[in-house]
Structure 1
Amino acid sequence: MRRLRILHVVFSLEPGGMENGIVNVARRLPADEFEVHVCCLERGGAFVERLPHPENVVVLNKPPGFSLRAVLGVARHAQRIGADLLHPHNLGPLTYAALGSGWGFWKPVLQGEHGVFQGDQGSPARLRQRQRLYRACRKVHTVSESLRRYLIEHGFPAEKITAILNGVDTERFQPVDKAAVRAQLGLPAQGQFIGIVGRFDPNKKHLLLIEAFNRVAAQLPGARLVIVGDKGAEKDKIHAAAQASPARDHIHLAGFQANPTPWYQALDLLAAPSIFEGLSNAVLEAMACGVPCLAHTACGNAEVITSGSDGFLAALDSADALAAELHRVLANPPELAATGQRARARVMRDFSMDAMVRNYARIYREVAGFPA
C-alpha cells in the first residue's frame, strides 16, 4: 500500500509551539506509512531544516491580507503532490485549506486548533467565519481536553471535535546537574533561576513577567530571570523593559535557541503566565527536565499540572499576583526541587510522545479513509 500523504498548511515554520509539534510528529510517523509535506503561506522558517524531508516544504510568499493566488497555490500544490488530506493549523491557514480543497470535496481537511481565541477571533463575525469553515472539515482536533470543551461551549459541533494531547520527548528532555549546565551556558552557578521560553508575542506575557520579576528580585537577591526566544511583535518592548529593569544584571536574554534543552535544565522554575495556550509544549518540556512550572489557571495547563503536587497554578492576571506567587514558590527550595521530580514523573506517565504520534496516525487514516 502506498504512503498516506499529509499536507500541513501554516503561515510559516518559524519557531513556536505549534510548529514544534508539527516537526515532532513528522519525525516520528512511520516513514513507510506516511509522507509529510508542508505549505507555508508566507515564509519558511528555522524549523524547516528540522523536518525529515525539508525538500517537501513549499513557500507561497503570500503578501499581507487575503490572497486568491495563495488559495490557488494551496490547491495546485495539493494536486501536484497527490495529498490525501490537508492539515491546516488555526484560523488563517484553515481559510486557505478550505478554499483550496474545494470546501473539502476535492481533498479532506483535518483542522488543528492550538489555543483559545485571541483578539477579534472571539467576535461574532469571526465565530461565524469559523463555523462556516468547519463545514469543510471532516474532523477538528485540539491539543487539550479543555480546549475541546472551550470550542464546544462556543457553539462548535462536539461530534466533529477530538482532543489529541501534546506529548514530550522524555529522553531528549531530562534532568542533569544544574551547576554543570549553567557553567556550560555561561550562567552563574548559584541563584534561583526563573525562565520563560517562547516567541515574543503579547499573549505570552513577557512584559508582565519582567515587571513581577523586578519586585521579586528586590526581595530575593539570588533570583535570576532567563528569557529564551526571539521574534514576535513585542521583541523591542521586551528588550527595552529588560534593559530598563533595576534588576537588569539578573536578567539573561538568551535569544532563539535551536536546542532549548540545556536552558530548561538550568532553571529552577518555568513561568508560564499566558492565558491563551491549549497545552503548552514549553510546560511539558520543562517538566520533563525536572523543572516545575508556575502557570496560569486559564489554560490547558490544569490537564498536566496538579497544583501543589507537580507544579503550581494561579490566576496570574497582574504583576502583583505573579510576583507574590513567584516569591511564595521560590521561598522553599527543597520543596521546589521535590515538585520538579514529581513533574517529570507525571509527564513520563501521562504525556508520552509515542502516544501522541499514534493518535495522529489514527486520525490521519480516519480522515483520509485509509484502513487502520
Structure 2
Amino acid sequence: MKILHVVNSLDPGGMENGVVNLARGLESRGFETHVACLERRGVFSGRLPASSKVLLLGKSGGFSPGAAWRLARAITQLRPDVIHSHNLGPLIYSGLATAGGRRCPWLQGEHSQLTAEERLPRRLRQRRWLYRGCHTIHTVSTAMREELVACGFPAQKIVAIANGVDTGRFAPGGRIAARAALGVPPDALCIGIVGRFGPFKRHRQLIEAFEQIVPRLPRARLLIAGGGGSEEAAVHQRVQASSFRPLIHLAGFQNEPRACYQAMDLLVVPSINEGLSNAALEAMACGVPALVRSGCGHEQIITHGHDGWIAGLDSSADLAGSLAEILAEPIRLVDFGRNARKKVTSHFSLESMITSYEHLYRASAPR
C-alpha cells in the first residue's frame, strides 16, 4: 500500500517526527511511504526508509500555482493509494492537486490548535470547503477533536489518534553521563525545554521564570535543547544577556534528544499552541515528569499531581511560582517520573499509534 504525505518540510518538529516514525513503523507491514515537501526537504528526511522518495515542490513566498501543479503531477506518477496532508498549507495544496479528493482518497491531519488567524470566518469557511473532499480528518488529541467540532466541522469525519512514543528508544538511564556530556553539574536541579524556537513555545518566558527562582534555588539549571524556528536568534540573545548565563545550557539541535531528557529532573512545556506534546511524551518515557500549560491536549496525557503538573502558566510569574513549588520538594520528581513512565508505556506507545494509522489508511483506500 502506497502513502504520500504532504508537508511543508521535514525540518525538526513534532509532526515531522511523527511522519518519519510512521513511515518506518509501517514499512514492515507492507506500506510504502513517500513525502512531498512544499518548501524544503529538512534534516528529518534522512531518517526515512530507503524506499521512500522525497519530492520537492518548490513553493516560496505566497501562493504558488506551480507547487500545486507539481504535486498533481507527482500524484499521477506515484499513484498513491492515500494522500495524507498535514496542517493548513498542505491541506490547501492537496485539495487543489486532488481536485477536492476526487483523484485519490485524502486524509487531513491537524497537529496543533487553531490560531487566532485560523479562527477568522474566512479561514473557517476555507477549511470547511476543503474538509468536504477529505475522507477523514484526524487530530492528535481528543481536545483538538472537540475544538474542531465546536467550530462547526463535521463530527462524523473527525477522529482522534493520540501521538505515540518509542518507549524502547526513550527510556530512563544514564543521567550522570548525560549531564557530563551537556555540562550540567551532577547535583543540579535541572529543568529543561525541548523543541523548535517557534513563537508559541514561549522560551523567553521560561528564561524569565528561571531567573526569578534562581536566588531561592541556587542548584537550579536550565537546559534548552532544539534548533530552528523564527525565534531562535532572539532566544539565544536573551540567554546571552541573562545575568544567570552560566546556569543556562544551550544544547542546540539534538539528532538524538534522549540524553537531554535523561539529564533533566523536570521538563517544562509552556507552549500556548500544541496538539499533543511529543516532548512531554518523550520525557515521560524517560522517567522525567513534566510541568505543562493547561489545554493543548495535556489533560489527555498527564494526571495532575500524580505523573506531572498542569497549571495556567500564563505569565513568567506563573511559571516561576509553579517551578518554585515543585522544586521545593525534589523527592516528588522521582515518584512522578516513575508514574509518568508507566502512563506512557501503557497508553501512548508508538506501536499503538502506528496500528491506528494503519487501520485508518486501510479504511480509506479503495477496495
User: Normalising by the residue count of structure 1, what TM-score does the alignment of the two structures yield?
Assistant: 0.97
Cα distance in 2 for partners of 1:54, 1:246 equals 50
- Asked if structure 2 preserves the Cα contact closer than 8 Å seen for 1:147 and 1:300, the reply is yes
Helix, strand or coil: the match of 1:219? coil
Question: Which residue in 1 is equivalent to 2:3?
Answer: 6
What is the CA-CA distance between 1:367 and the residue it aligns to? 1.1
- Give the aligned partner of residue 153 of structure 2: 156
Structure 1 residues not aligned, in runs of 5+ = none
How far did 1:55 drift?
Answer: 5.0
For residues 352 and 361 of structure 1, the distance between their equivalents in structure 2, rounded to whole angstroms, comes to: 15
**Aligned positions of 1:199-278 closer than 5 A:** 199-278=196-275
Listed one character per residue, the Cα deviations across residues 280-313 of structure 1 (whole Å, up to 9, x for unaligned) are 1000000000000000112101101000000000
Q: Tell me which residue corresponds to 2:176.
A: 179
Instruction: Decide which moves more: 176-185 or 202-211.
Output: 176-185
Residue 81 (structure 2) aligns with:
84
Whole-Å Cα distance in 2 between the matches of residues 211 and 54 of structure 1? 46
Report 1:106-121 matches (<5 A): 106-121=103-118
CA distance in 2 between partners of 1:12 and 1:103 (Å): 22
Partner amino acid, structure 2, of 1:130: R
- 5+ unaligned residues in a row in structure 2: which ranges? none
What root-mean-square deviation, in Å, do the aligned CA atoms of Structure 1 and Structure 2 show? Answer: 1.1
Give a deviation string over 1:101-145, Cα, whole Å, max 9, x none: 011001111000001012411111111111111011010000011
Residue 270 of structure 1, CA deviation? 0.3
> Hey, what does 1:328 align to over in structure 2?
325
AA aligned opposite 2:250: L
Which of 14, 17, 28 does residue 20 from structure 1 map onto?
17
Instruction: Check the 8 A contact 1:179/1:190 in 2, yes or no.
Output: no
2:268 & 2:182 partners in 1: Cα distance? 20
Given that 1:13 and 1:45 are in contact with CA atoms closer than 8 Å, whether structure 2 keeps it comes out as: yes
Residue type of the alignment partner of 2:92: T
The one-letter amino acid of 1:146's match is A
Provide the rounded CA distance (Å) in 1 between the counterparts of 2:108 and 2:67.
18
SS of match in other structure, 1:121: helix
Within the candidate set 127, 132, 139, 1:130 is matched to 127
Aligned residue number for residue 364 of structure 1? 361
Query: Distance in 1 between the 2:113 and 2:58 partners?
Result: 27
Q: C-alpha separation between the residues in 2 aligned to 1:24 and 1:177? A: 24
Paired positions, count? 367
Partner amino acid, structure 1, of 2:309? F
* Contact kept? 2:32, 2:52, Cα under 8 Å: no
Paired amino acid for 1:352? S
How many angstroms apart in 2 are the aligned matches of 1:177 and 1:338? 18
Q: In terms of mean alpha carbon deviation, does 12-21 or 61-70 score higher?
A: 61-70
Kindly state the Cα deviation for residue 314 of structure 1 after the two structures are TM-superposed.
0.2
User: Is contact 1:48-1:54 (8 Å) kept?
Assistant: no
- Cα drift, residue 30 of structure 1: 4.0
Distance in 1 (alpha carbons) for counterparts of 2:334 and 2:312? 23
Per-residue CA distance 1:255-301 (angstroms, 9 max, x = gap):
10000000111000000011211111000000000000000112101
* Correspondence list, 1:93-104, <5 A: 93-104=90-101
In 2: Cα distance, 1:262 partner to 1:286 partner: 10
Show the counterpart of 1:189. 186
| Offset of residue 32 of structure 1 | 5.1
- In structure 2, the partner of 1:170 is 167
Judge which range, 253-262 or 361-370, deviates more: 361-370
Q: Distance in 1 between matches of 2:237 and 2:51?
A: 36
Give the match for residue 300 of structure 1: 297
Amino acid at match of 1:112: G
Instruction: Return closer, same or farther for 1:54/1:30 CA change in 2, 3 Å cut-off.
Output: closer
- Runs of 4+ in structure 1 off by over 2 angstroms are 184-187
How many angstroms does 1:60 deviate by?
Answer: 1.5
Deviation larger for 26-35 or 347-356: 26-35
Q: CA contact under 8 A between 1:144 and 1:278: conserved in structure 2?
A: yes
Say if 1:242 and 1:158 are closer, same or farther in 2 by CA, change over 3 A. Answer: same
Q: Distance in 2 between matches of 1:46 and 1:188?
A: 31
Once structures 1 and 2 are overlaid, which stretch shifts more, 131-140 or 185-194? 185-194
**Map 1:65-80 → 2, pairs under 5 A:** 65-80=62-77
Contact 1:212 1:323 (8 Å CA) reproduced = yes
Identity %: 51
Specify the code of the residue in structure 1 equivalent to 2:114: F
Query: By how many angstroms is 1:231 displaced?
Result: 1.2
Counterpart-to-counterpart distance in 2, 1:59 and 1:340: 41
Q: CA deviation at 1:78?
A: 1.1
Decide which of 317, 321, 324 is 2:314's aligned counterpart.
317
1:199 Cα deviation (Å)? 0.4
Report the Cα offset of residue 337 of structure 1.
1.1
One-letter amino acid matched to 2:281: L
> Structure 2 counterpart of 1:277, which letter?
E
